[in-house]
Structure 1
Amino acid sequence: MNVNVNANKTALLVMDVQEGIVSRIAGSGYLPRLVGAVEAARTAGIPVLHIVVGFRSGHPEVSDRNASFSALPAGAFTPEDPNAAIHPDIAARTDEIVITKKRVSAFAGSDLEMVLRARGITHLVLSGVATSGVVLSTLRQAADLDYRLTVLADGCADSDEEVHRVLTEKVFPRQAEVTTVEEWARKAG
């Protein structure tokens, strides 16, 4: 399949690649690979959508029943938090959309689905941190919403390499094409 054929119906989602999240991922090869995916998408005319987790000051969106987000320190992932910024290596261009979500899935508490529908996007290419968090949750919800899915296995990262491997090799292939950044970029070009 040639990615370019449906470039106008495809979008690359770069999810949770924020300063305070990327810093938890070991290995120096992740960001350069992701930069390659972003550059390939831009060159092919494929929209790049940056998905970030973000809250208002004081975290009024976070329930004390939410184990993950209620454990965040005060001020984390608010407009005042420098760790909430998209990593500068893949920073959004002025013509690229940044979508703020309030939970793990890119769809939860965001206007992602509205943006995708408005642009006629039917194929999502998923990348981001963490494979067991935003990528897994977004993939499941996107599959239920009937999006065609591709996962860039090495464009995703997780602090647990074994969990990453199991998801990309055994779980994700049931609902998505799983490929590498290099292979996808070759097809996109």
Structure 2
Amino acid sequence: MTGAGSGAGLAALLLVDLQKAFCSEDGTAARNGRDIATCQEAALKCLDLVAAARKGNVPVIWTRMALHSDYSDGGLMIREIIPMVKARGGLREGTPDSDLIPEAAIEARDHVVTKQRYSAFVGTNIEVVLRSLEIGTLIVGGVTTSMCVESTVRDAAQRDYRTIVVREACADWARERHEPALAAMAFGFARIVSLEEAASAIREGKAP
């Protein structure tokens, strides 16, 4: 495992799992009884960052979680940790769950990284993408804060990417997980900034 980040390269906006599974009323999260209102709010804040990135010509990278139709690539995560996903038929490739929210309005220049684990750095091509774009800084938003966002941020930081998390652009299903996750990331892995600070810098093509 080689780290490509130096913290000195260009910046990219990395948006984690803004997909129907977690942000739509008919997605797996809502069907499992989760209150997705905070995730929907964070998704809108992420779209504000996307608009800023378009103005500042900052690359946008989206991640999505999608598993094989028989869950053969789900491993321990599906067998023991979150078996309710399989029970509900969630997160399968080719189903609405795996689609990014329609408001994402992905452009041809964007990159979409498909993952099977919480972290965007496990078993994906994201490091190839980041090296190709000469990225040294990641500005991160998405859902959920304590799982896929935090897992991705930890892995990015330990690969020497300067990592910045936008507070209002992240959400969890429960505040008792959201705030500790932000605190943990701030303690050793990332700088936490406001939406206003992030959007203002991104519009200028810079990292906050």
TM-score, length basis structure 2: 0.80
C-alpha distance in 2 between matches for 1:54 and 1:105: 13
Deviations 1:101-160 (A, max 9, x none): 110001112111111112111101111110001111011111110100100111111001
C-alpha distance in 2 between matches for 1:90 and 1:41: 13
Q: 1:76 to 1:148 in 2, by over 3 A?
A: same
Deviations 1:21-45 (A, max 9, x none): 1134224632321110111112111
Matches of residues 95-110 of structure 1 in structure 2 within 5 Å? 95-110=109-124
Segments of 4+ in structure 1 off by > 6 A? Answer: none
Q: 1:109 to 1:182 in 2, by over 3 A?
A: same
Q: Which residue identity lines up with residue 167 of structure 1 in the other structure? A: A
1:31 and 1:89 in contact (8 A); partners too: no
1:30 and 1:155 in contact (8 A); partners too: yes
* Other-structure match for 1:3: none
Q: Which residue identity lines up with residue 115 of structure 1 in the other structure? A: V
Identity %: 31
* Other-structure match for 1:80: 94
Residue ranges of structure 1 left out of the alignment (5+ in a row): 1-5
The answer to whether structure 1 residue 10 and structure 2 residue 18 are counterparts is no
Task: Find 1:56's aligned residue among 27, 43, 68.
Answer: 68
Matches of residues 1-189 of structure 1 in structure 2 within 5 Å? 9-23=10-24, 24=30, 25-27=36-38, 29-64=41-76, 66=78, 67-68=80-81, 70-73=83-86, 75-168=89-182, 170-174=183-187, 175-189=189-203
C-alpha distance in 2 between matches for 1:65 and 1:14: 22
Q: Aligned Cα RMSD in Å?
A: 2.1
C-alpha distance in 2 between matches for 1:162 and 1:70: 22
SS in 2 for 1:46: coil
Deviations 1:44-100 (A, max 9, x none): 111000101112221221225652354422643223311211011123212211110
C-alpha distance in 1 between matches for 2:93 and 2:154: 29
C-alpha distance in 2 between matches for 1:149 and 1:65: 26
Q: 1:46 to 1:81 in 2, by over 3 A?
A: same
1:36 and 1:185 in contact (8 A); partners too: yes
Q: 1:159 to 1:19 in 2, by over 3 A?
A: same
TM-score, length basis structure 1: 0.87
Alpha-carbon shift at residue 10 of structure 1 (Å): 0.8
Residue ranges of structure 2 left out of the alignment (5+ in a row): 1-6, 25-29, 31-35, 204-208
